[in-house]
Amino acid sequence: MVKETKFYDILGVSVTATDVEIKKAYRKCALKYHPDKNPSEEAAEKFKEASAAYEILSDSEKRDIYDQFGEDGLSGAGGAGGFPGGGFGFGDDIFSQFFGAGGAQRPRGPQRGKDIKHEISASLEELYKGRTAKLALNKQILCKECEGRGGKKGAVKKCTSCNGQGIKFVTRQMGPMIQRFQTECDVCHGTGDIIDPKDRCKSCNGKKVENERKILEVHVEPGMKDGQRIVFKGEADQAPDVIPGDVVFIVSERPHKSFKRDGDGLVYEAEIDLLTAIAGGEFALEHVSGDWLKVGIVPGEVIAPGMRKVIEGKGMPIPKYGGYGNLIIKFTIKFPENHFTSEENLKKLEEILPPRIVPAIPKKATVDECVLADFDPAKYNRTRASRGGANYDSDEEEQGGEGVQCASQ
């Protein structure tokens, strides 16, 4: 049960209307009451009402709020809070969703030009220390000779055919539908101005703009991150009656062979030998700062595979707050080759190291004694294929594949 039906009534739909039905109803109202089609004050008011109703009912979140709390509930939820006033800009924006153009031919404020975006590649070392790059930018600027007019002072006239807009709006009847679209003015060819050929600027040939090559110094500050933007305000292409956009450089971090970045921290995978892992020792690494770090492992501290340790203050610079992040060391252990020592030394190791873990097997369980063999992925895959591939998995394969030989006891 909805609290109010006012907006539904304006569009002439039921409270259970689908999005498609609401859209069709608004289209019908817009065609009937838009100021371009019907200049009366009554039609203008109905057009505003229909636009306001559609703006709420076409948004699922706003529609839910309206259904539960009515129009009053929209005042704090980004809704209309009543019908908009002051011209028809609101309705024109919605009208353009259906007909691909704005509403009436009214002058609007200056448009903003497009941003120019470039990628600037940086190594992890450069992001640690910072770097400055000089990059050439080719862009359009207002003609210096005619100051962007396209001709002599006083010689440039507004095109009366399009009222200086450079475009015309055309409405065509196509069966039961009316199609409205915009097209370039055929008199001024989209410029909005009329210039006598003899008064046309010789420097830009009436185009109002010329090309310029400019060198920008791009500063990659220490600690910048992948995807961060370096913005040069208003340095994009210039055009008459257009606010220039920005030139934006987007930092792209190149992969590093040894380090990975984690926010303000660094991650380094260090491989140490088994003796160092269990008896202590040292290892060294070349830092992105260019310095070498010698790292000690205290005797008696056992380093397990995959264990992580931290070196504070050896991560990336932190631009906003100063200081540095941390360096995370992730360990891998290099084990000795097979049969690296004698049986006598192995017995000594057995005396030194903690005792073996004895497997807990129930007393009455059937036990198969197995011997491990080297694993050959190619041979394993051929065996799977001969047995039906992924459609057949034997218990033997799940327990270790054909490389495990077992004998019942």
pLDDT along the chain (409 residues), means of 10: 85 89 90 80 85 88 81 57 41 53 49 91 97 94 92 88 83 64 84 87 91 95 96 94 93 96 96 96 97 95 96 95 95 95 93 90 91 87 64 46 48
**pLDDT in the model for residue 123:** 97
Distance CA(109)–CA(94), nearest Å, equals: 18
Distance CA(305)–CA(331), nearest Å, equals: 6
Q: Which residues pair with 182 in a beta bridge?
A: 169
Distance CA(37)–CA(167), nearest Å, equals: 19
Distance CA(4)–CA(7), nearest Å, equals: 8
Distance CA(60)–CA(43), nearest Å, equals: 27
> What are the CA-CA distances from residue 177 to residues 24, 72, 104, 172, 174 (Å)?
12, 36, 19, 9, 5
Q: What is the dihedral of CA 158, 163, 164, 167, to 10 degrees?
A: -140
**pLDDT in the model for residue 84:** 40
**pLDDT in the model for residue 392:** 46
**Domains recognised in the chain with CATH numbers:** 1-73 (1.10.287.110), 259-334 (2.60.260.20)
Structure tokens at 292: 């070498």
Strand-strand pairing, 167-174 and 281-286 = unpaired
Among 264, 42, 20, 232, CA closest to 118: 232
**pLDDT in the model for residue 254:** 96
Structure tokens at 351: 């005396």
**pLDDT in the model for residue 37:** 76
User: Which bin fits 24, alpha (ψ -120 to 50), beta or left (φ > 0)?
Assistant: alpha
**3-state SS, residue 44:** helix
**pLDDT in the model for residue 396:** 46
